[in-house]
Amino acid sequence: MVLEHSDAIEVRRSPGRGRGVFARRLIREGEVIERVPVLVVPIDELKQGSAWTSLGHYCFLWSKDTVALALGYGSLYNHSFRPNARYDDRGQRTKVFTSLRDIEPGEEITVNYNGDPDDDSAVGFAVVEAKGDGDQPGRSPKTARKKQP
């Protein structure tokens, strides 16, 4: 599989979240935003005792003993319980980010770190929902247990 960088997105400051991934143009519902390779490493390489290293906070759980660092912009998407995109593991060591609805130019692209866009399980930090995240009323920000590094 050939992976090419997407011209539809860019990284910039996200208020209250640090950096984030933003749409440079209209992204249509169901459109693939980005396909990224991942580097899979043993969990022990990203922990100091029971605490995660700073790089560990950018990784996805891959298996019981490994984590994956998504390349491209894959490790820079911020979390939301009202995401406008999702990620899925495809093929060997590849993540695919896809829009759940139309995403306007300049809008931050967010994913649910639990994998399933509708999963309200805790994720281990206070979640900052950006203004305009999602269009699903009744789903509020929450403090969450960490599910992945």
The pTM of this model reads: 0.77
What is the band of 26 on the pLDDT scale with cuts at 50, 70, 90? very high
Beta bridge partners of 99: 85
pLDDT of residue 143: 28
- Residue 102: partners with Cβ closer than 8 Å, 6 or more residues away: 26, 27, 28, 29
Structural domain boundaries, residue 39:
1-149
Host H or E run for residue 41: strand 32-42
CATH number at residue 116: 2.170.270.10
pLDDT over threshold 70, residue 146: no
> Which has more pLDDT, 115 or 12?
12
Total structural domains within the chain: 1
Pair of tokens at residue 86 = 């999702």
* 52-103 tens-digit pLDDT: 777 777 777 788 888 888 898 998 998 888 999 999 988 788 999 999 999 9
Cα–Cα distances (Å) from 124 to 73, 88, 138, in that order, read 22, 21, 21
pLDDT tens string 3-22: 778 899 999 998 887 899 99
Q: State the DSSP string of 70-119.
A: ETTTTT-PEE-SS-SEEEEE-STTEEEEEESS-B-TTPEEEE-TTSSTT-
| Residue of 77, 82, 104 lying closest to 8 (CA atoms) | 104
